[in-house]
Structure formats: structure tokens, C-alpha cells
């Protein structure tokens, strides 16, 4: 199987009368995991989902532990590792991929500059990396201390970010400055996924649908609606940003990095696991792109517990649903800016697969 077939891709059709999003990522988790030793599942899923491998390994480990009846709690070291991996993923997207994918964005900084970030220091553990991150952000991105930036943001979320990106002369500020008007013009409906408001009530129902409904993990919905998930739906966020345009979603990704770097960042990402029946469990993790969920069912074998079945529900399947928030946004795009705006919208919702924008033919006139 070639890489495109393995990872999948999505195609965006701005202004289309049909589905505005087509294509998908193949549902391979069950196929590659079934019959393997339960202890192997974290490594198997981490290798399959390489872009967010740490979150998949952590989630699978907790799912297997809960299914076996073992404690499924993360250690402080596990929490630090998830925090650092999530911050690293966000920073890489902002510093590298945004410059590459956003139309009209300025050139990004050399890769060597990004390597000065402590998150890439191999001689540091995760806790040390996170301890050094605020100073790096203050000098490289913010031009002020992290705590003062966040305080100003909390006082005036939309206004402060706009003023900051107009005044600061740093790579992310310059990039956001070039994109602000176009992104603010990209109106988006809001349908945040709130499963973690009541996880003990919601997660068993989600697990049942993941296990029993064919195709649910490829086209998920909640209460009949394709919801959205991202750093703007963090369950502990004291000040969720309004979601009325694509600009606010990009800003949420920047703020996510800063929240992770702050002293309270150790508790910023929710995670958990819930045993459902003997040998069956569900586990979840808030990661860079939103909420990740694994469901697993184990069975006995002469060699020990093995995977009878498993399902993975990742943020991309929520956000790139053919009837979801992004699709609704794409359907409204018309004119010569439609392709560029579609690309900006896709970056705001951040797929973990390649995307392509296809022009919609103009209707023929008699």
C-alpha cells in the first residue's frame, strides 16, 4: 500500500452544490491491531498515526490498562510528555506549515531557528523543555513576558491579539498580520464537541456507537450533528474564544501553545479512561488538533490478552465531515478568492492528512 493510500487525503470543493469535502482517511486501526498482543497496541497505533504518535500511544496504553482492570492513570512524567508533545506539534504547525499552506503568507524562518526552541533539545527531559519554553516564547514570538501577554489576552481576547499582531515584529505576528483580514472574512458556524463536560455519561454512549455503527468513526456525529473539536474546545479553558470566523480558530492554536507553556499548563489537557465491561474500555486525550478517542475490546489467548477489536476516532474525522462546520463554510465561498479562502479555512481546522482544493466549475449559461 502506497503512502497516499495509507494516510488518505481530502479534497475541498468551495462553492459546490454537492458535498464540499470528499475523500477520507482509511480506517486501518482495527485491521492492523486485531489479533495482536494487548501490550503491543500502543506501539502499533503510534506507528500508524505518526503525526500525533505520542497522543495515540498514551491513549491506547490507558485504554488497554482500563480494559484489563488495571489503573489507567497517567504519571506526572506521562503528563509532562503529553504537554511537551502537544506544544511541539502546535509550534511546528505555526512556524512551518502555516507559512507553507496559507496563501500570501510570508516566508518562514529557517529550520535552524526553530531548532533553538527547547522542545527540540534532546538533552532535556519533557519537564525541562516545558520549563524553558516561556523564555523562548517571550523572546522569539511575543516580545514580552508570557504572563503579561496572557493577562492582556484574558482582559480582551479578540482585541488584544489583533493589536499584538499589528505591533510585534516576530514571525508569528507578521504571519497573522498578513492573514487577518482574509481570515476574519471567513465566517464559520460553531458546533463545539462537548463530550468531556460529562464524560461518565457521554463516553459509554460514544463507545457503543464506535463499536456498533459501521462507518461511525469515518463520519461521526453527536445528537445528529457533525460537531467540531480543536484547541478551542479544551474542557478546562476558562475563556473560550468565539468561533465565528477562521481567524479565531488560528488564534486559538497560538493561545494553546501559550497556555501549555504557562505554569497552569500541566493541567491544560484533559485525558481519561473508562472500563465498560470485562476486557472493554474507552480512553481519550486532548491533543493538538482536538479530542482523540480510542475504544478497545480484548480477548484471552494462550499467549495472553490480545486485541479482539479496536476503533480510533480522531479530530480530523469530526472537522472534515462532509456536512460539518468546515464543509458549511466552504459551501458559501464564491468568486476568484474561493480557492485561497478554502485553503485558509482548511489550515484553520488543521487536518492531519494532505488536502487539495479543487475549483468548482461555473454553471453553464444558455
HEC string of 38-80 equals: HHHHHHHHHHHCHHHHHHHHHHHHHHHHHHCCCCCCCCHHHHH
Q: Are 39 and 25 in contact (CB under 8 A)?
A: no
Residue 270: its pLDDT value, please?
A: 97
What is the pTM for the complete model shown? 0.94
Name the maximum alpha-carbon separation found in the chain: 72
Task: Tell me how far apart the alpha carbons of residues 180 and 183 are, in angstroms, rounded to a whole number.
Answer: 5
Residue 14 is assigned to a structural domain of this protein: no
> Which burial class, exposed, middle or buried, applies to 34 when counting CB atoms under 10 A from its CB (0-12, 13-18, 19+)?
middle
Residue 10 is assigned to a structural domain of this protein: no
Residue 109: its pLDDT value, please?
A: 75
Buried b (16+ CB within 10 A) or exposed e, 265-282: beebbebbbbbbeebbbb
Residue 4: its pLDDT value, please?
A: 46
Please give the chain's pLDDT, 366 residues, in tens: 444 455 678 899 999 888 899 987 778 889 999 999 999 999 999 999 988 899 999 999 999 999 999 988 899 999 999 999 999 999 999 999 999 999 999 988 776 678 899 999 999 999 999 999 999 999 999 999 999 999 999 999 889 999 999 999 999 999 999 999 999 999 999 999 999 999 999 999 999 999 999 899 999 999 999 999 999 999 999 888 888 999 999 999 999 999 999 999 999 999 999 999 999 999 999 999 999 999 999 999 999 999 999 999 999 999 999 999 999 999 999 999 999 999 999 999 998 888 999 987 655 444
Q: Are 345 and 186 in contact (CB under 8 A)?
A: yes
Residue 340: its pLDDT value, please?
A: 96
Task: Tell me how far apart the alpha carbons of residues 157 and 150 are, in angstroms, rounded to a whole number.
Answer: 9
Buried b (16+ CB within 10 A) or exposed e, 92-113: bbbbeebbeebbebeebbeeee
Residue 215 is assigned to a structural domain of this protein: yes
Residue 110 is assigned to a structural domain of this protein: yes
**String of DSSP letters for 122-141:** TTS-HHHHHHHHHHHHIIII
Tell me, what CATH number does 181's domain have? Answer: 1.10.645
Task: Tell me how far apart the alpha carbons of residues 211 and 215 are, in angstroms, rounded to a whole number.
Answer: 10
Task: Tell me how far apart the alpha carbons of residues 280 and 290 are, in angstroms, rounded to a whole number.
Answer: 24
Residue 148: its pLDDT value, please?
A: 97
Residue 326 is assigned to a structural domain of this protein: yes
Instruction: Provide the pairing of β-strand 9-12 with 354-357.
Output: parallel
Task: Tell me how far apart the alpha carbons of residues 66 and 297 are, in angstroms, rounded to a whole number.
Answer: 10
Residue 25: its pLDDT value, please?
A: 76
> By C-alpha distance, which of 292, 319, 348 is closest to 55?
292
Query: Which residue range forms the structural domain that includes residue 280?
Result: 30-357
Task: Tell me how far apart the alpha carbons of residues 25 and 27 are, in angstroms, rounded to a whole number.
Answer: 6
Q: Per the structure, how many domains does the chain have?
A: 1
> Which burial class, exposed, middle or buried, applies to 256 when counting CB atoms under 10 A from its CB (0-12, 13-18, 19+)?
buried
Residue 17: its pLDDT value, please?
A: 82
Residue 2: its pLDDT value, please?
A: 46
Residue 128 is assigned to a structural domain of this protein: yes
Residue 227 is assigned to a structural domain of this protein: yes
Residue 153 is assigned to a structural domain of this protein: yes
Q: Are 212 and 205 in contact (CB under 8 A)?
A: no
> Which burial class, exposed, middle or buried, applies to 340 when counting CB atoms under 10 A from its CB (0-12, 13-18, 19+)?
middle
Amino acid at each position: 500500500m502506497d503512502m497516499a493510500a495509507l494516510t488518505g487525503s481530502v479534497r475541498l470543493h468551495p462553492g459546490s452544490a454537492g458535498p464540499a469535502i470528499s475523500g477520507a482517511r482509511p480506517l486501518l486501526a482495527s485491521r492492523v491491531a486485531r489479533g495482536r498482543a494487548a501490550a503491543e497496541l500502543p506501539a502499533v497505533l503510534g506507528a500508524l498515526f505518526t503525526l500525533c504518535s505520542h497522543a495515540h500511544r498514551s491513549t491506547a496504553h490507558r485504554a488497554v490498562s482500563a480494559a484489563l482492570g488495571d489503573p489507567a492513570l497517567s504519571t506526572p512524567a506521562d503528563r509532562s510528555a503529553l504537554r511537551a508533545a502537544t506544544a511541539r506539534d502546535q509550534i511546528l504547525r505555526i512556524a512551518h506549515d502555516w507559512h507553507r499552506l496559507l496563501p500570501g503568507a510570508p516566508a518562514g524562518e529557517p529550520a535552524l531557528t526553530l531548532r533553538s526552541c527547547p522542545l527540540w533539545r534532546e538533552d532535556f527531559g519533557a519537564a525541562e523543555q516545558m520549563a524553558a519554553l516561556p523564555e523562548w516564547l517571550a523572546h522569539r514570538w511575543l516580545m514580552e513576558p508570557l504572563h503579561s501577554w496572557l493577562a492582556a489576552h484574558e482582559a480582551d481576547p479578540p482585541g488584544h491579539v489583533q493589536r499584538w499582531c499589528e505591533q510585534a515584529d516576530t514571525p508569528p505576528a507578521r504571519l497573522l498580520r498578513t492573514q487577518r483580514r482574509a481570515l476574519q472574512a471567513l465566517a464559520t458556524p460553531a458546533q463545539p464537541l462537548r463530550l468531556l463536560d460529562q464524560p461518565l455519561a457521554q463516553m459509554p454512549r460514544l463507545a457503543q456507537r464506535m463499536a456498533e455503527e459501521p462507518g461511525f468513526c469515518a463520519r461521526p456525529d453527536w445528537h445528529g450533528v457533525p460537531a467540531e473539536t480543536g484547541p478551542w474546545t479544551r474542557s478546562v479553558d476558562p475563556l473560550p474564544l468565539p468561533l465565528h470566523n477562521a481567524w479565531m480558530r488560528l488564534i486559538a492554536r497560538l493561545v494553546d501553545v501559550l497556555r501549555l507553556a504557562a505554569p497552569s499548563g500541566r493541567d491544560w489537557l484533559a485525558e481519561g479512561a473508562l472500563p465498560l465491561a470485562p476486557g472493554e474500555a474507552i480512553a481519550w486525550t486532548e491533543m493538538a488538533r482536538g479530542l482523540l478517542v480510542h475504544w478497545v475490546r480484548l480477548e484471552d489467548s494462550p499467549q495472553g490478552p490480545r486485541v479482539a477489536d479496536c476503533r480510533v476516532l480522531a479530530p480530523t474525522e469530526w472537522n472534515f465531515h462532509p456536512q460539518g462546520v468546515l464543509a458549511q463554510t466552504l459551501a458559501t465561498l464564491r468568486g476568484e478568492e474561493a480557492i485561497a479562502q478554502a485553503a485558509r479555512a482548511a489550515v484553520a481546522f488543521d487536518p492531519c492528512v494532505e488536502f487539495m482544493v479543487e475549483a468548482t466549475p461555473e454553471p453553464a449559461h444558455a
